[in-house]
Structure 1
Amino acid sequence: MTSDDTVTDAAGVSGTNNGRIAGCVSRRRFIAGSSASALALTAGCLGGSASGTGEKVTMLLTPDTPSDVRPQYKPVHNMLEGEIDGLDLEMKVPQDYSAIRPALKSKQAEIGMDDVTLISQPDLMNLFGTAKTGGTAFYFSMMVTKPNSSIDERTDLSGKSVAFADRLSTSGSIFALYTLKQAGLDIGEAPDGDPVDFDGTWSNHEDAVAKVLNDDADAACTWSGNGMAHLASDAELPERVMNKDSFTGTRGKADGRLRAFWWSFPIPKQPVYGRKTWDSDMKGKIKKTLVESDEKLMKQYFPDDYDEDILPFSTLKDTSMDNYQPVIKRLNDLGIELG
């Protein structure tokens, strides 16, 4: 099991461009969808308070399978409404990453939580902090395959079929494509075009893993919060993963059994941010509540039978755009201009 960098702590990387993607000649451009229709394509939402009164605030979750994502955030939703008077919070799941920024710019939403959108236009956002769970503010990109597969390292993916998450997913696409390129594979015009040395498909984290389980792909690229549960309960993990990942306890929880053959270095977890044009005292109250929250408080708002291993975060760590320089580096290297 290998990593693509010698960097051991992503939070230690500094930068001087304030998060802007610069210094590269772009060969392709991701165009965000029409702002008027951005949220019309959402796949579902987690409703607001029962009374429906108070200030309505819309928070956009990270795009993925809605039936899997929404229940994970129920404690966050309950905690914010329970601790802040007059808050009517609605959580929505965008169809994909490209829908998030138009929704924020058109004031269809107030809060987002993905690094790619934050990086694409940091001047549009007020960064609240980075998600932290189980004492860590990091997660990992990982590649998985079947236990009996002949794939043991990245170069073994030559001529194989590889399933990725959303095209703009940090862990399920961007980090994965970068490391495959670093390993010497020709990724072609991916993620918005076809790779050369392997076949690639893009969907979401859960579907990518399902393709391997169903023998529709030879390997999948995903994040540790999704892929870890599909490993054997006694799966050996690199020391950096054991020390920095909060999902190690989920090994063996899923029915499928997969084997990891590549791990990234620690990646800062998702940022939480509010749009700057949102002029309300509620923005400061939400940030303060998230920063001051902890696991003990969050557990008070767990629904019955909630699995705490899926909690997306319990508090926020104070961070800056410098923490996301590893993501910016990979976007630049892949020639992705976020437009």
Structure 2
Amino acid sequence: MSDNRWSANRRTFVKTAGAGGVVGLAGCTGGGGSGDDGSSGDGSSSDGGTAGDTESTPTAQFILNPAEADVAIEEQYQPMFEYLESEVDVEIEPDRAESYTATLQAMRNDQGEIADISPSAVIAGEDILDIVGIRIAYGAAQYFSTTTTTPDSGIDSLTDLEGELIYMGDILSVSGTLVPLTVLQDAGLDIGNAPDGDAEDFDAEYSDHTTAREQMVQREDVMAATTGAFSSAPYVPQEQFEEMSQDFVDISAEYEGAGDEIESSGTELQLLAVSDPIPRAPLVTRSNWDDPVKGELEEAILNVSEDDLSHGEDYDGEPLWFTGVQDGTIEDYEMIRTVLDELGLEFQDLA
């Protein structure tokens, strides 16, 4: 098997609509458009300027990057929006992206001022993004990727996946695709030109974390799923993590809830691999956004508390997954750069 991990001629990695999902953004189709929640983007300028006359409240487009298809991310983020509007004289206009790439495209095309973004997009967009901070979950600034199968699949190890179909996350997802590919490669499987081409030793399909997990459970031809632990851990018995990864036990915010959904859902997963710790996704602002409100918003984001991000007792939807934001820089994501190097990938401008 050839080892292409440190090839001097790194491949150019471009996500297209045919290689992992629709590239698009709700509300970013010219003239502001309208978001998934029906709110109008009309009147907001591309540089976060004022809407209407000069006395109006400045607006900031907040691009939301959903990791899971079944989460109403605008509702999740509502406490954050309300907090920012209470701290800064600004109107937050949320826009849900349809993919990780769409989020980066929106920022590159001056269609967003703030973004919830993937760690991989930090490296891809370091020329146009400023890292505000790293999101933390219950004290943890790192998270994990998992590879799982079903108990009756007959798959007992990663090497058993040779010749099989694996369902992965978004093609730009660090925990759903990029890190798992390095894990599979380290196990001896030839990943070929995945994720922007075909793997040699297995087949792969791409979507989001929830879809990957559910397709594995529902389809007999899908032998494994690669997802963030936030998606898989509730269906994996806690003792499996204890046997496989002490780092996960010590660091992961998902450890305490591991296996909690098995009884109620009737779904149990079998753990095949756990990654090394991964830096959590950051919140970023657009580098060329030239407005005094930018600095005020960045300060407010870093000062947000767990109470500020809480929906309250009467809320019955999906809570916001992070509980705070800590200072971060591009250096915090060097691990991601290493992963891209191992995969022989580099990103081409998506604009």
TM-score category, normalised to shorter length? 0.7 to 0.9
The equivalent residue for 1:30 is 14
The one-character-per-residue Cα deviations of 1:54-73 (angstroms, maximum 9, x if unpaired) are 32211222244454151332
| AA aligned opposite 1:75 | P
| Unmatched runs of 5 consecutive residues or more in structure 2 | 1-5, 18-22, 29-33, 41-50
Larger radius of gyration: 2
The equivalent residue for 1:84 is 87
Contact 1:45–1:90 (CA<8 Å) still a contact in 2?
A: no
Contact 2:88–2:296 (CA<8 Å) still a contact in 1?
A: no
The equivalent residue for 1:245 is 252
Deviation at residue 336 of structure 1 after TM alignment = 1.6
Aligned partner of 1:39 among 9, 25, 36: 25
The equivalent residue for 1:333 is 342
Deviation at residue 298 of structure 1 after TM alignment = 2.4
The equivalent residue for 2:178 is 174
Aligned-pair RMSD on alpha carbons? 2.8
| Unmatched runs of 5 consecutive residues or more in structure 1 | 1-21
Aligned residue for 1:297, secondary structure, equals coil
Q: Distance in 2 between matches of 1:152 and 1:77?
A: 45
Aligned residue for 2:71, secondary structure, equals helix
TM-score norm. by structure 1 comes to 0.82
| AA aligned opposite 1:182 | D
| AA aligned opposite 2:255 | T
Q: Does 1:218 align with 2:214?
A: no
Aligned partner of 1:260 among 263, 268, 271: 271
Task: Answer 1 or 2: higher relative contact order, Cα 8 Å, separation at least 6.
Answer: 1
Mark the CA change 1:109 to 1:66 in structure 2 (over 3 Å): closer, same or farther: farther
The equivalent residue for 1:313 is 322
How many residues align structurally? Answer: 310
Aligned partner of 2:109 among 106, 109, 114: 106
TM-score norm. by structure 2 comes to 0.79
Aligned partner of 2:202 among 168, 183, 198: 198
* Structure 1 stretches of at least 4 aligned residues deviating more than 3 Å after TM superposition: 40-49, 63-67, 232-237
| AA aligned opposite 1:305 | Y
The equivalent residue for 1:5 is none
The equivalent residue for 1:136 is 140
Contact 1:60–1:93 (CA<8 Å) still a contact in 2?
A: yes
Q: Distance in 1 between matches of 2:58 and 2:261?
A: 39
Mark the CA change 1:316 to 1:32 in structure 2 (over 3 Å): closer, same or farther: farther
Higher deviation after alignment, 98-107 or 140-149: 98-107
Contact 2:340–2:346 (CA<8 Å) still a contact in 1?
A: yes
Deviation at residue 233 of structure 1 after TM alignment = 6.2
The equivalent residue for 2:44 is none
The equivalent residue for 2:314 is 304
| AA aligned opposite 2:9 | V
Aligned partner of 1:282 among 278, 282, 293: 293
Aligned residue for 1:257, secondary structure, equals coil
Identity %: 28
Mark the CA change 1:306 to 1:25 in structure 2 (over 3 Å): closer, same or farther: farther
The equivalent residue for 1:227 is 232
Mark the CA change 1:47 to 1:77 in structure 2 (over 3 Å): closer, same or farther: farther
The equivalent residue for 2:161 is 157
